[in-house]
Amino acid sequence: METGPLEDTRFVGYRRKLIEDIRAHGIEDLELLQLFDRVPRHLFVPEGIWPRAYEDAPLPIGYSQTASQPSLQAYYLTLLRPRSDEKVLEIGTGSGYLTALLALTADRVYSVERVRELSQRARKALDLLSLRNVALLVGDGTIGWRKYAPFDVIVVSAASPSIPPALVDQLADGGRMLIPVGALDSQELVLVRKEGFIVTEEVVKGDCTFVPLLGRFAWKSEAGA
């Protein structure tokens, strides 16, 4: 990945600080922390909020959506551990920042976003970083992306009232999925694992607040943004 000409020295220090903030959340894996040094987050958020791009905080990205907090994304990566020969499905491309982090760890990333403009903006940022192992789709991610199933890892970045069955179907044997499940205002993060015919669910974190997953097998559009 060539970031040289894109690198803006103003941001290097902020990025190191962000990595310290992520470490403060108990994430010590060096390889994982280095990923955050390789993806310039400011390229994934609107220019108006560049001064805040390296805060360990959710950021507004327009269309009533938010980019998730980096330390939470680091936690996702810690739990899911995508390997370099694995296929990942992401539901809710949003800014594309997590998409980029996933693209640096997995073989291929398939990412679905319902807001066309966000998908297009994410594509531009991913192209700037020459991340070519990412396929983006505009559509309803609650039905997954059957054409490329099964997936070793599924990451859902928006909150659902329940686990969409198509996503469990599209999980490979040995696959893992993270999805926030619960009410519109508060959810638990659930880790789903598939081993043969056995599917297990484990709550790994409580008290999360994600934007709603809007679609056929989640909240209907009038429920949220």
Site string for ligand SAH, 107-136 (x = CB under 6 A): -----xxxx--x------------------
Cα end-to-end distance, the chain, whole Å = 35
Which residue is at the shortest CB distance from ligand SAH?
A: 94
Q: Catalytic residue, from 64, 68, 157, 162: name it.
A: 68
| 182: contact with ligand SAH by CB under 6 A | no
82 binding ligand SAH? (CB under 6 A): no
Query: Contact letters (x/-) for ligand SAH, 138-167, by CB under 6 A?
Result: --xxx--------------xx---------
Type of residue at 44: F
Nearest CA to 110 out of 73, 74, 149 is that of: 149
Beta bridge partners of residue 96, listed in sequence order: none
211 binds ligand SAH (CB under 6 A): yes
For the CB of residue 147, give the shortest distance to ligand SAH in the complex, in Å: 16
Crossing angle for the helix pair 9-23 and 70-80, nearest 10 degrees?
Answer: 60
Distance CA(182)–CA(156), nearest Å, equals: 13
For residue 178 the two structure tokens come to 């993270």
How far apart CA 97 and CA 102 sit, in angstroms, is 9
* 95 catalytic residue (yes or no): no
Tally of CB atoms within 10 A around 152: 23
d(CA 138, CA 120) in angstroms, rounded, equals: 9
Nearest distance from residue 167's CB to ligand SAH, in Å? 11
x-or-dash string of contact with ligand SAH, 48-77, rule CB under 6 A: -----------------xxxx---------
CB 73 within 8 A of CB 98: yes
Least Å from the CB of residue 214 to ligand SAH: 4
Please list the active-site residues.
68
State the residues that interact with ligand SAH by CB under 6 A. Answer: 65-68, 91-92, 94-95, 97-98, 112-115, 118, 140-142, 157-158, 211, 213-215, 218
